Amino acid sequence: MSGNNPVTAGNAPWVRDPARFGRVAVLLGGSSSEREVSLDSGANILAALQRQGVDAFAIDGIPALVQAIAADRVDRVFNILHGTRGGGEDGVLQGLLAALSVPFTGAGVLGSALSMDKVRSKQVWQTLGLPTPAYRVIRAGDDIARAASQLGLPVIVKPAREGSSVGITRVHESADLVVAAELAARHDGTLLMEQLIQGDELTVAVLADRALPSIRIIPAGQWYDYHAKYLAEDTRYQCPALTGAEERAVGELALAACRALDVTGWGRVDIMRDRQGNNFLLEVNTAPGMTSHSLVPKAAATAGIDFDALCLQVLATSLAAETGGDRR
């Protein structure tokens, strides 16, 4: 992803001929910890595509998708599975579809795998000089108190390979470190302890080669947890979050983060902005939520793209895969 050019998919001839997409499997649900969010997102996408005449149908989980492909029922996949271990964001699904020559939305194998692993994401960003909070990797038997003292409290403790704020704790006191680590350890993989950046929580959606308007998230509680993301009605959003050069800079940072991880098609980049105006990359979501509370639709609406058009434009990024392109 590069540049900041308008998305022009709405003017392309195939938009007026939805048959161009063929039979579209909206892949939702699955067996990850984010199943319920995926079901909600998928139902919204399915309805939007069908309203526009796309021959779209829902498939719950990867095993069912494999069966449908074997039965020659699928021409392309709109992937809205979330997470890993039965989710579709970790590169496993992408490798399967690439091997079967089935076009799909979102990042490919490398981009999905790197983005799902928050430690690997940060390592790539650091190598390229992109800003991200200081961190420590926590493995079984490690001295978590020592790691926290090296970073300095407060810190965030979270699983390295989960999304939707699953298993995350903000730790302000040393006495709370053990409980935070135990919560995160309920999920597979290593743990990540990260410096907590004090400031504003921002997110930037990317679509094709464009950064959409940034969003500042203002939860009613102390932070933007699972409840605030998907259930609460009192979370507020400022879109765009910034203006002028600052807005352009945060958009360029989001695009640079995606380029570094080989994320193409669409996604959402989470960023913390400290009180001095410095931006820090947190993670990239390669199959962002599309629920009534989700952020990509809010950013798209500010950019003049309604939900139905957004779904069609995301689906359009899968066309490049047919010719070996990168879904830009």
Q: Which residue of the set 30, 34, 135, 262 is catalytic?
A: 34
Determine the Cα–Cα distance for residues 132 and 138; give it in Å rounded to an integer: 18
Q: Which residue of the set 35, 161, 210, 268 is catalytic?
A: 268
Q: Which residue of the set 38, 285, 294, 318 is catalytic?
A: 285
Cα–Cα nearest to 282, from 135, 80, 129, 85: 135
Query: What backbone torsions phi and psi does residue 220 show, to the nearest 5 degrees?
Result: -70, -30
Residue 270 annotated to the active site: yes
Determine the Cα–Cα distance for residues 85 and 30; give it in Å rounded to an integer: 9
Residue 285 annotated to the active site: yes
Question: With contact defined as beta carbons under 8 Å apart, do 318 and 76 qualify?
Answer: yes
Q: Which residue of the set 289, 294, 318, 327 is catalytic?
A: 289
Cα-based angle 194, 197, 199 (whole degrees, multiple of 5): 155
List all residues 6 or more positions away from 284 whose beta carbon is below 8 Å from its beta carbon: 115, 121, 257, 258, 261, 263, 267, 268, 269, 270
Adjacency order of strands within the sheet including 169-171 = 135-138, 191-195, 155-159, 169-171
Residue 226 annotated to the active site: no
Residue 283 annotated to the active site: yes
Write out the two tokens for 294. 């989700």
Cis check: omega of the bond before 154, within 30 degrees of 0: yes
Determine the Cα–Cα distance for residues 24 and 315; give it in Å rounded to an integer: 9
Write out the two tokens for 253. 């940072």
Helix (H) or strand (E) holding 272: strand 266-274
State the amino acid at position 197 in one-letter form: I
Residue 162 annotated to the active site: no
Residue 268 annotated to the active site: yes
SS3 21: helix
Q: Which residue of the set 60, 210, 270, 273 is catalytic?
A: 270
Q: Which residue of the set 121, 230, 251, 279 is catalytic?
A: 230
Q: Exposed, middle or buried: residue 157 (CB in 10 Å: 0-12, 13-18, 19+)?
A: buried
Q: Which residue of the set 135, 283, 294, 327 is catalytic?
A: 283
Question: With contact defined as beta carbons under 8 Å apart, do 10 and 300 qualify?
Answer: no
* Residues catalogued as catalytic: 34, 164, 230, 268, 270, 283, 285, 289
